[in-house]
């Protein structure tokens, strides 16, 4: 028996070692981005490279924030505006639809679910040209609206399918009881179901935001005016002009992902929950 515990201890030690090793490999690119953003441009090209910035410098950040190539504050503001409006739009529409699909007898329910499932798998390029023409003809081209509507189509199918599993997991008796007490379906939805499924609702909001914030292709295609560009389009356009100004590019990257990292720190539980609920049960 003593031998068995000893063996177990050794294998646990190796397991931990392998775990830490894999972890280090996985996050090394992130580490490298962070450290590079704090290096001076000349230090990037040292060989062998510095694994830790020996002369840490904010040069890349100050250069980036004061650059006249792309106004990064404006870009962040545009991103925030587009993502927040998309988030509210996509999450509200999908929470309502998910409730309808989970609680009512709907003709063609299977077809509707199938449509949402399929639209989650569509390649974005399939709607790019037609939406470009549609937005042009209804005057939405080159407005935030174009990005918002396009980005919402990413969040809606995901959130509908994911939220539906949340609503399905709540026992029917709960809102039946509310209905017997005289609530309308909408009242029981707002007062009973939404609070019970608040976790899922948080997931819907977080993912709708993330989808919109990460988008490049829609905003790149539908917005021509650089003062309306979200930060992803800004960084894409700026990178060509940097050439090999890597520390500045990494600083730009860091600024871009900062809002995402903050959301991740506070909403991590919901992000992991949403990923699993949305994909496995989809």
Partner 1 sequence: MKKVLKGDRVGYFYILPALLFMFLFIFFPVIYNTIISLQDVTVSTLLSEDKAFVGLANYISVLQSKEFLNSLTVTVIFTIACIVFQFFFGFLLAMIFKKNTRPFQLMKAIMMVPYIIPATVNAILWKFFFATKGGIINEALLALGLIKDRIGWLNQPKTAVVSIIVANIWCGIPFFMILLSTGLSNVPKDFYESARMDGANAFQRLIFITIPNIKTSIQASLVLGIVYTFRCYELVYVMTAGGPVDSTQLMTLYSYKYSFVTYNFSQGATISNILLLILLAVGLLYIKMMGKDEVM
N residues, the chain: 282
Can the peptide bond before residue 48 be classed as cis, meaning omega within 30 degrees of 0?
Answer: yes
Q: Which of left, alpha, beta for 146 (phi over 0: left; psi -120 to 50: alpha)?
A: alpha
Cβ closest to partner 1, residue 46 vs residue 58? 46
Cβ closest to partner 1, residue 72 vs residue 150? 150
Site of tokens 């396009």: 150
Cβ closest to partner 1, residue 47 vs residue 68? 47
Least distance (Å) between residue 189 CB and partner 1: 8
Least distance (Å) between residue 277 CB and partner 1: 9
Least distance (Å) between residue 265 CB and partner 1: 9
Q: CB burial class (10 A; 0-12, 13-18, 19+) of residue 224?
A: exposed
Cβ closest to partner 1, residue 116 vs residue 141? 116
Contacts of 190-195 with CB under 8 Å at 24 or more apart are 193/99, 193/167, 194/95
Cβ closest to partner 1, residue 2 vs residue 121? 121
Least distance (Å) between residue 62 CB and partner 1: 19
Closest CA to 263 of 193, 196, 194, 214: 214
Least distance (Å) between residue 135 CB and partner 1: 10
Closest CA to 191 of 205, 203, 206, 181: 181
3-state helix, strand, coil in the chain (%, to 5): 80, 0, 20
């Amino acid at each position: 028996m003593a031998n068995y515990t000893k063996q177990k201890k050794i294998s646990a030690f190796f397991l931990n070692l392998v775990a830490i090793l894999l972890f280090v490999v996985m996050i090394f690119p992130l580490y490298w981005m962070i450290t590079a953003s704090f290096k001076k441009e000349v230090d990037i090209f040292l060989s062998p490279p510095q694994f830790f910035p020996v002369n840490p410098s904010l040069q890349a950040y100050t250069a980036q924030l004061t650059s006249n190539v792309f106004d990064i504050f404006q870009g962040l503001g545009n991103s925030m505006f587009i993502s927040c409006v998309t988030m509210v739009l996509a999450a509200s529409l999908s929470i309502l639809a998910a409730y309808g699909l989970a609680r009512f007898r709907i003709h063609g329910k299977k077809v509707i679910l199938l449509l949402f499932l399929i639209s989650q798998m569509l390649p974005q390029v399939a709607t790019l040209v037609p939406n470009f023409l549609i937005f042009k003809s209804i005057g939405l081209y080159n407005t935030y609206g174009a990005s918002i509507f396009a980005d919402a189509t990413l969040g809606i199918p995901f959130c509908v399918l994911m939220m539906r599993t949340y609503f399905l997991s709540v026992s029917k008796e709960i809102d039946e009881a509310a209905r017997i007490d005289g609530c309308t379906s909408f009242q029981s939805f707002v007062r009973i179901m939404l609070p019970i499924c608040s976790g899922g609702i948080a997931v819907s909001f977080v993912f709708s935001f993330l989808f919109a914030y990460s988008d490049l292709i829609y905003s790149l295609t539908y917005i021509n005016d650089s003062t309306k560009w979200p930060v992803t389009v800004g960084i894409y356009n700026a990178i060509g002009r940097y050439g090999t100004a890597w520390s500045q590019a990494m600083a730009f990257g860091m600024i871009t992902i900062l809002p995402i990292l903050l959301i991740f720190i506070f909403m991590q539980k919901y992000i992991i929950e949403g990923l699993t609920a949305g994909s496995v049960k989809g």
